[in-house]
Chains A and B, each alone.
Chain A
Amino acid sequence: MKNIVISISLFMMTLFMVSCEEFLNEPALGVETLDAYFVNEEECDRYITGLYAKITTHSWTPVYIWWVMTDISTDDGWLGSTYQSAKYVDFKPIAHYEGGSQATTNIYLTDFWEVRYKGIYSANLGVSKIEGSDISQAKKNQFIAEAKFLRAYFFFELVKNFGGVPLTLTTLEPNETISFPRSTAAEVYAQIESDLKDAIEVLPYKANMDYPSGRANKGMAEALLGKVYLYQEKYNDAYTVLGNVITNGGYDLEADFNNVWSKNDNSIEAIFEVQTSSDLSYTLGNSMPVLTGSRNDGGWAWGAPSSHLQNAYESGDPRRKATIVVSGEAIVGEATTAPYVMNANYHKSNRIIRKFYIPKADRNTPYRHATNKLNHHILRFADVLLMAAEVANELGDDNQSRQFLKRVRDRVGLSTDAGLAGTALRDAIRAERRLELAFEGNRLFDLRRWKMDDGKTMLEHAMGPNGWFVKYNLEQSTDEFETTNQIEPSTKGITFQAPRDLLFPIPLNDVQLSGGVIEQNPGF
């Protein structure tokens, strides 16, 4: 027995000599760990650089497609493609205002919500980590200001789509996320204002930037803050910051409207622009050209202009052809004057958006949705001028208001009635915004905020069984394409209900996970 014990002991002892701790330590490879990050300026700079990728995630879904979705939820457009009825499940419940669980579980709605909160988390993480990093105070201030600018932009994107949302300003632990309630829209706006003011204080104007274009600067932050004030009808505050942008920002209108949406990237008119690249090694292009392009021309045909929008352009307005391509017409800016023909069975309105169209000579080979270079305007100077015009009108300074409006109309060779004032001027500015900024992500939110004289929003007047857009399509329209192709029904908007459809629903996922702490928007 003694021998046995000795044998076993010896046997086991040789085995214990292996080092345990080292053997059981196997971190994941090929990645850095957060705990060891943010140690120098370069890492902080890389991190802030990465934050800009969150604006679109450089992918057609969910941001670009959501931008399309908001514009086709208006009188400006249709879902468009009647080729791939598959996608109806994804687009129609939102854009046709059908409500119900098809809307609250909508994949693009949910993904857009998710990606904006991912941006906010990253910004929060950046702010807190860079705050504690050991880098120069100047750079630290700049990086934090950029992160705050982006956080403000992401929250603005949320609040205008969904109303008050959970205001997450720190990197939350899992248990903290569970019962995190919605803040009011006013509280969210207050935070956005605060972040933008912080950014404005630190960041230089475009001309004084010592870092690459495309990153936040003072003009960008002021222009965005102007829009934030405008959406809250804080006209005085808006007037001040918009005035600063106009006077000090270093921006102007492009001489030719056709050059606004073109290869003319980072132009004099550009304020906040998504930067794109056609480098085939990456997928950093603008997805819009293919996403909204013709089915007959390598596109997917989502987001088609309506004849209702087309009819809104006065004759001689060059923006009509610079905004809308109708099948059978030549495309402005193309080398050829041959008609551009699309299959009416595949396209609801047989129209596509010209703004995102890339002339054939300028296209890359291959022509792919992920690698088309066309910087995407989020804020441009014409928008600022029209916001200023609107604000001045609301503040009773119609003279100044007309000047801003005139500046925009002069560019496209249209006269401005010097006698416009009061609500007539207001309506003229509203009409101008639609025409100038079509498919640039403004129309839906403008319709939601603009009130008619009866106190109801313009969206309520446009949609619903008696809405102008619905009546136009069902009773008045003689458009040969839209009235014929009913694969996407012309009844769009007939199921619109207020107040339900004045906001999009909160994704059901988060309502369910919060156990009801996150309350759903009314009517959903």
Chain B
Amino acid sequence: MKIKAFIFMCLFTLSMVGVNAQSFEANGVVIDEEGLALIGATVVLDGTTTGTTTNLDGEFKISVPNPNSTLTISYIGYDPTTLIATKDMKITLQSSSQELEEVVVVGYGVVKKSDLTSSIAVVKGEELKKNVGANFVSGLQGKVAGVQISTSSGAPGSTPNVIIRGVTTQNGSQPLYVVDGVPGVNINSINQNDIKSVEILKDAASTSIYGARGSNGIILITTNRGTTNTKTQFNVSLRTGIQNIPKPNIASAAEYQQVYEARYTNDDLVVPVNWDGVTQTDWWNELVQDFAPIYDYNIGFNGGTDKFIYSGSFGYYKQEAQTKDKGYWGRVSARFNTEYRFNDKVKFGQDLAPSYRSSENYYKDALGASMQYDPTISVYRPIEEQEGLDAFSLFSQSRKTTTWNPAATQYRTFGDYQRFAMLSNTSLEYQPVKGLILRSQFAIDVLFGESNSFAPNFNLGGTEKLEINKVTAGSTRNFDWVWNNTATYMGAKGQHNYNVMTGFVMEQENSRSLSGSQEGVPNNYNEALRYLNAGTMNEKSSGIEGHSSLMSFLGRAQYNYDRRYYITMTYRVDGSSKFTENNKYSHFPSVSVAYNMKNETWLEDVNPVSALRLHGGWGVVGNQNIPAGAYENKVGSVPTVLGNGVVIGSTSTAIANEGIKWEVVEDYNIGLDVGLFNKFNLSVEYFNKKSKDMLMQAKNPLISGYPMRDAMQWTNIGSMMARGVEFGLNVKDMTKEFKYDVNFNISKIKNTAGKLVNDAPQYSGSFLGLTTHKTEVGSEIGRFYLYEADGIFQNQTEVNSHTDAFGNRIQPNAQAGDLRFVDQNGDGQLTEEDKIYAGSGLPSVTLGLNAFFSYKNFDLSFNIIGNFGNEIFNSQKQRIESGYAGVNVKGGLWNEVWREDNPLGTVPRLSVNDANANFTTPSTYFLESGNYLRMQNLQLGYNFLLDELKFRLYLSAQNVFTVTNYSGMDPEAPVGGSVLSSGIDWFPYAQPKMYFIGLNLNF
């Protein structure tokens, strides 16, 4: 449309400048969408061989014979355009990716975006690159309506939780990742700079082609490829930055002592610690580095001849942990994608993507430990005690806390983890007749993992010791292969357009592991001895192999009439090794339709409406996310002692449900897309998903005596529903000097339990061994179910008057300063029946705002995410507000706790015995709103040319700021995880703030 408008403008201009001239010199400038001059663009006078190229400023001059002469302007990677030659032309070329973008990758094929009948969201690789991380997933945050992404840990190398359109299973909510048609690839081995686009398949109409594994949605990743007849282009991207976790407010040694003593004196107990000679240690400063570096370097190239296209890259990424002295996660990756065309009919493709990941062990709980550890203890023993001790024993012993000296723990953590992965993707395509494509793809995904660690012996006193040092090593090998075979036929007859695909797929996952350990390494220091061979005693080893396979037949038929009425039908039959003979196969159909009103004659010329499309779909998908052999009753070995010696007995180790079958999810989806003035794009969708025969590890009563933990057994019990509305708005104008592209999305989701084991409520979540959540049939899943704490008793009179109707005291152990728990049923006792639903651990509303602006050489982009409607159970309070077991508390606690002289204190009284169980009762006291808005990404760039090289220099920040009332470290950390027990916060590795400087170079 833009091009049309431009042509119209040119024609208009032409008519103005007159018809007098015949032969004249046309001139102009050629720019790209971002307004940058294109150097060396080809300008050819149509019908001749006369031509020229643009200069360093993108300008050209060409002599044309008459005013009707047309020029064709072309440039590598951009769509050629043909215009009538004039003076002072300003020609904007659209990059050809714009054209490719019109094609959307679907399962086992591609579809023109306008032909889509299902719900698929596309995120361009460019968008993902703005985010720095071990994988691309956090870059999707806030980009797509209906997709909730939450990062539970800011540790290097961690993968966020992804929930696509709510939760319909208890059995893993993570989607299936498919890289260039290969399902199940470990995303940490994929360099996000290699990604051209990510397609998120949200509804069953789009995912049912993946059948058994589609129920949590599918994320398709397409990597960069070259284009034919294009000269090699290079792009270099370098960035480096720092990470910082803001230091929380931690009590000083003085405040700690004050709190510690009050805990005893408030209970009329003698303070059991003599503070003589105590020191002050700032454990955060001992363990956490202020600025941890992060590096991300990539170089890529692509191009092609008429026969051969190629694209390649090399990437280096390294992120240090926030802990001092040790800990990092890194990856070196390469990719080479090639395709050779033998002739018009046969194409052969081979992609290779090796990667190497390594990480160094560090004390993962260092952040939480440094917040809790006794600040009156010195890091090391006094000098006089150090004599004769080895370096691992020089540290001081902990006193009455549940954590060991964290500096000592960090110091003696040794080990690394290495993974070598290779993804090989081979394809052969044969086009026997026009319209028919036979394609066979065979891919191998290999992953070798190696770990080695060493635990030195040490003795800090008491139980804080390890008598014998130990070396542990392990290796894992995963060898997965997939063989996709498809036949696609497309054609058109009159107004009838059709595209039929049928396929046969085989997949197999194979894993093997081996691990061993030995003790008694002769010395702690010699790094050469930190291997299994150096051990002298207690040799142990273990290893296992596992396989699972899948065989499937699939088909898809797409038809449209006159690009107005669309229908797509898919069907997949999956056979899985995870089920017994009778339940091996399952069927997954889908139907979806669309009505493109814009292509109706009555709307075609209504210019304000640039798009109007209605679509809807239905489908069935499955879930087979259970371990291999889950249907088998197993017998394993168990050692015991009889007759004064070790004997090996056997015992049943798993009692299985032989009747387990596929979990299926049925899903309806309806959506409307509206485009206005070519500038606003609006989309609204409603979805309704419902699972049945939900696979879950159901708890049987313990009296069953089943050998599994909690007598849990894989069972098809239960059903869950997820319903929601998604709204997306895009406002975009890239045609003027001031360009903008602003994308806003918001979605509201509700997850409901339809059926549960015996229709009994399900209790989940854990706080000191007590449950925190309850899920009941017919109501929302994963809600907090807690005692209601409605305030603090101000005096004994209030305690005494907290009674039932007969005057029985409800909290006989309470005193002034304790929490008042509400006796909901008025029976004078606090029992399970007095708990109330206190909100959900899963957010009901998520939003994202993604904005891009550019003016002249500058560009600015940012990304804001938000979560609303969820509560967080701040279980850290149990430690840092109570001083429980002698742990350190939060700074300023003294002024927040209730005391007789501080009656406005909001924290219950300090007490060792906590007779009222203020801090051990799962109550609403710990609950806080989890609402937040976070600017996840901010980037400011400056673009310039230097000797034909296109540069972009930028500054960027991640996790820029967060607006929240939540008092914990990171409101995002507790979200996700197990869906029925989401929202419990426990000393997370909070997401660091990151600041980068970066440079992109294209030539």
Q: When the two chains form their complex, are residues B651 and A51 in contact, meaning their CB atoms are under 8 A apart?
A: yes
Enumerate 11 A-B pairs (CB-CB under 8 Å) in ascending A order.
Answer: A23-B577, A47-B635, A85-B885, A117-B703, A118-B705, A178-B700, A213-B644, A214-B641, A284-B646, A513-B700, A515-B758
Q: When the two chains form their complex, are residues A277 and B634 in contact, meaning their CB atoms are under 8 A apart?
A: no
Q: When the two chains form their complex, are residues B702 and A100 in contact, meaning their CB atoms are under 8 A apart?
A: no
Q: Tell me which residues across on chain A come within 8 A of B637, comparing CB atoms.
A: 50
- Kindly provide the distance from the CB of B417 to the nearest chain A CB, expressed in whole angstroms: 23
Q: Which of A32, A82, A300 has the most CB of B within 10 A?
A: A32
Q: Tell me which residues across on chain A come within 8 A of B761, comparing CB atoms.
A: 512
A285-332: which residues lie under 8 A (CB-CB) from chain B? 295-296, 298-300
Q: Which 7 A-B pairs have the closest CB atoms?
A: A121-B705, A212-B643, A28-B629, A50-B649, A49-B649, A366-B467, A34-B633
- Given A31-B653, A117-B705, the answer on whether A214 and B643 have CB atoms closer than 8 Å is yes
- Given A23-B549, A28-B546, A487-B912, the answer on whether A34 and B652 have CB atoms closer than 8 Å is yes
B856 at the interface (CB under 8 A from A): no
Q: When the two chains form their complex, are residues A53 and B704 in contact, meaning their CB atoms are under 8 A apart?
A: no
Q: How far is the CA of A85 from the CA of B502 in the complex (A)?
A: 65
- Kindly provide the distance from the CB of A38 to the nearest chain B CB, expressed in whole angstroms: 9
Q: When the two chains form their complex, are residues A281 and B538 in contact, meaning their CB atoms are under 8 A apart?
A: yes
B564 at the interface (CB under 8 A from A): no
A497-517: which residues lie under 8 A (CB-CB) from chain B? 507-510, 512-515
Q: Tell me which residues across on chain B come within 8 A of A514, comparing CB atoms.
A: 701
Q: When the two chains form their complex, are residues A50 and B705 in contact, meaning their CB atoms are under 8 A apart?
A: no
B832 at the interface (CB under 8 A from A): yes
15 additional A-B pairs beyond A8-B438, A28-B628, A121-B705, beta carbons within 8 Å, are A12-B487, A12-B504, A15-B485, A28-B632, A29-B546, A31-B629, A32-B634, A33-B633, A52-B649, A85-B400, A118-B705, A121-B704, A165-B703, A178-B700, A275-B641
Q: When the two chains form their complex, are residues A284 and B639 in contact, meaning their CB atoms are under 8 A apart?
A: yes
Q: Tell me which residues across on chain B come within 8 A of A34, comparing CB atoms.
A: 632-635, 652, 655
- Given A3-B432, A489-B913, the answer on whether A122 and B544 have CB atoms closer than 8 Å is no
- Kindly provide the distance from the CB of A115 to the nearest chain B CB, expressed in whole angstroms: 9
Q: When the two chains form their complex, are residues B269 and A486 in contact, meaning their CB atoms are under 8 A apart?
A: yes
Q: What string of 1s and 0s marks CB contacts (under 8 Å) between B847-860 and chain A?
A: 00000000000000
Q: Which residues of A contact B (CB under 8 A)?
A: 3-4, 7-8, 11-12, 15-16, 18, 20, 23-35, 37, 43, 46-54, 58, 82-86, 89-90, 100-102, 105-107, 110, 113-114, 117-122, 124-125, 165-166, 168, 171-172, 174, 177-178, 180, 211-215, 265-266, 275-277, 279-282, 284, 295-296, 298-300, 345, 365-368, 484-487, 489, 507-510, 512-515, 518
B636 at the interface (CB under 8 A from A): yes
Q: What string of 1s and 0s marks CB contacts (under 8 Å) between B802-836 and chain A?
A: 00000000000000000000000000011110000
Q: How far is the CA of A212 from the CA of B640 in the complex (A)?
A: 12
Q: When the two chains form their complex, are residues A114 and B547 in contact, meaning their CB atoms are under 8 A apart?
A: no
Q: Which residues of B contact A (CB under 8 A)?
A: 267-270, 272-273, 400, 402, 432-433, 435-436, 438, 462-463, 465, 467-468, 485, 487, 489, 502, 504, 506, 508, 519, 537-540, 543-551, 575-578, 584, 627-629, 632-655, 657, 698-707, 710-711, 713, 715, 758, 760-761, 763, 768-771, 829-832, 884-886, 912-913, 917, 920
**Cross-chain contact of B640 among A53, A113, A485, A487 (Cβ < 8 A):** A53
Q: When the two chains form their complex, are residues A23 and B506 in contact, meaning their CB atoms are under 8 A apart?
A: yes
Q: When the two chains form their complex, are residues A20 and B643 in contact, meaning their CB atoms are under 8 A apart?
A: no
Q: When the two chains form their complex, are residues B638 and A53 in contact, meaning their CB atoms are under 8 A apart?
A: yes
Q: How far is the CA of A29 from the CA of B268 in the complex (A)?
A: 60
Q: Tell me which residues across on chain A come within 8 A of B632, comparing CB atoms.
A: 27-28, 31, 33-34
Q: When the two chains form their complex, are residues B707 and A122 in contact, meaning their CB atoms are under 8 A apart?
A: yes
**Cross-chain contact of B463 among A86, A118, A266, A298 (Cβ < 8 A):** A298
**Cross-chain contact of B705 among A25, A106, A120 (Cβ < 8 A):** A120
Q: When the two chains form their complex, are residues A100 and B704 in contact, meaning their CB atoms are under 8 A apart?
A: no
- Given A29-B546, A178-B758, the answer on whether A214 and B642 have CB atoms closer than 8 Å is yes
Q: When the two chains form their complex, are residues B436 and A7 in contact, meaning their CB atoms are under 8 A apart?
A: yes
- Given A20-B551, A101-B770, the answer on whether A484 and B270 have CB atoms closer than 8 Å is yes
- Beta-carbon nearest neighbor of B709 in chain A: A114
- Given A125-B652, A174-B713, A366-B468, the answer on whether A119 and B705 have CB atoms closer than 8 Å is yes
Q: When the two chains form their complex, are residues A18 and B650 in contact, meaning their CB atoms are under 8 A apart?
A: no
- Beta-carbon nearest neighbor of B715 in chain A: A174
Q: Tell me which residues across on chain A come within 8 A of B654, comparing CB atoms.
A: 31
Q: How far is the CA of A3 from the CA of B267 in the complex (A)?
A: 92
- Beta-carbon nearest neighbor of B641 in chain A: A275
- Given A52-B642, A486-B270, the answer on whether A85 and B551 have CB atoms closer than 8 Å is no
- Kindly provide the distance from the CB of A447 to the nearest chain B CB, expressed in whole angstroms: 25
Q: When the two chains form their complex, are residues B463 and A295 in contact, meaning their CB atoms are under 8 A apart?
A: yes
Q: Tell me which residues across on chain B come within 8 A of A124, comparing CB atoms.
A: 705
Q: How far is the CA of A28 from the CA of B942 in the complex (A)?
A: 57
- Kindly provide the distance from the CB of B188 to the nearest chain A CB, expressed in whole angstroms: 26
Q: When the two chains form their complex, are residues A25 and B272 in contact, meaning their CB atoms are under 8 A apart?
A: no
**Cross-chain contact of B917 among A46, A102, A484 (Cβ < 8 A):** A102
Q: When the two chains form their complex, are residues B701 and A178 in contact, meaning their CB atoms are under 8 A apart?
A: yes
Q: How far is the CA of A295 from the CA of B272 in the complex (A)?
A: 15
- Beta-carbon nearest neighbor of B547 in chain A: A26
**Cross-chain contact of B703 among A35, A46, A119, A177 (Cβ < 8 A):** A177
Q: Which of B701, B832, B917 has the most CB of A within 10 A?
A: B701
- Kindly provide the distance from the CB of B259 to the nearest chain A CB, expressed in whole angstroms: 15
Q: When the two chains form their complex, are residues B502 and A212 in contact, meaning their CB atoms are under 8 A apart?
A: no
Q: When the two chains form their complex, are residues B544 and A30 in contact, meaning their CB atoms are under 8 A apart?
A: yes
Q: When the two chains form their complex, are residues B640 and A26 in contact, meaning their CB atoms are under 8 A apart?
A: no
**Cross-chain contact of B537 among A43, A119, A280, A485 (Cβ < 8 A):** A280
**Cross-chain contact of B648 among A49, A275, A489, A515 (Cβ < 8 A):** A49
- Kindly provide the distance from the CB of A312 to the nearest chain B CB, expressed in whole angstroms: 28
- Kindly provide the distance from the CB of B393 to the nearest chain A CB, expressed in whole angstroms: 15
Q: When the two chains form their complex, are residues A48 and B649 in contact, meaning their CB atoms are under 8 A apart?
A: yes
**Cross-chain contact of A31 among B467, B547, B636, B758 (Cβ < 8 A):** B636
- Beta-carbon nearest neighbor of A345 in chain B: B272
Q: When the two chains form their complex, are residues B760 and A510 in contact, meaning their CB atoms are under 8 A apart?
A: no
Q: How far is the CA of A30 from the CA of B636 in the complex (A)?
A: 8
- Kindly provide the distance from the CB of A50 to the nearest chain B CB, expressed in whole angstroms: 3
Q: When the two chains form their complex, are residues B647 and A49 in contact, meaning their CB atoms are under 8 A apart?
A: yes
- Kindly provide the distance from the CB of B766 to the nearest chain A CB, expressed in whole angstroms: 10
- Kindly provide the distance from the CB of B503 to the nearest chain A CB, expressed in whole angstroms: 9
Q: How far is the CA of A117 from the CA of B649 in the complex (A)?
A: 19
Q: When the two chains form their complex, are residues A122 and B758 in contact, meaning their CB atoms are under 8 A apart?
A: no
Q: How far is the CA of A82 from the CA of B646 in the complex (A)?
A: 36
Q: When the two chains form their complex, are residues B462 and A295 in contact, meaning their CB atoms are under 8 A apart?
A: yes
- Kindly provide the distance from the CB of B528 to the nearest chain A CB, expressed in whole angstroms: 24
Q: When the two chains form their complex, are residues A117 and B432 in contact, meaning their CB atoms are under 8 A apart?
A: no
Q: How far is the CA of A166 from the CA of B548 in the complex (A)?
A: 39
- Beta-carbon nearest neighbor of B654 in chain A: A31
Q: When the two chains form their complex, are residues B633 and A8 in contact, meaning their CB atoms are under 8 A apart?
A: no
Q: How far is the CA of A48 from the CA of B650 in the complex (A)?
A: 8
**Cross-chain contact of A53 among B548, B576, B639 (Cβ < 8 A):** B639
- Kindly provide the distance from the CB of A351 to the nearest chain B CB, expressed in whole angstroms: 18
Q: Tell me which residues across on chain A come within 8 A of B628, comparing CB atoms.
A: 26-28
Q: When the two chains form their complex, are residues A89 and B649 in contact, meaning their CB atoms are under 8 A apart?
A: no
**Cross-chain contact of B629 among A27, A37, A51, A515 (Cβ < 8 A):** A27
Q: Tell me which residues across on chain A come within 8 A of B544, comparing CB atoms.
A: 29-30
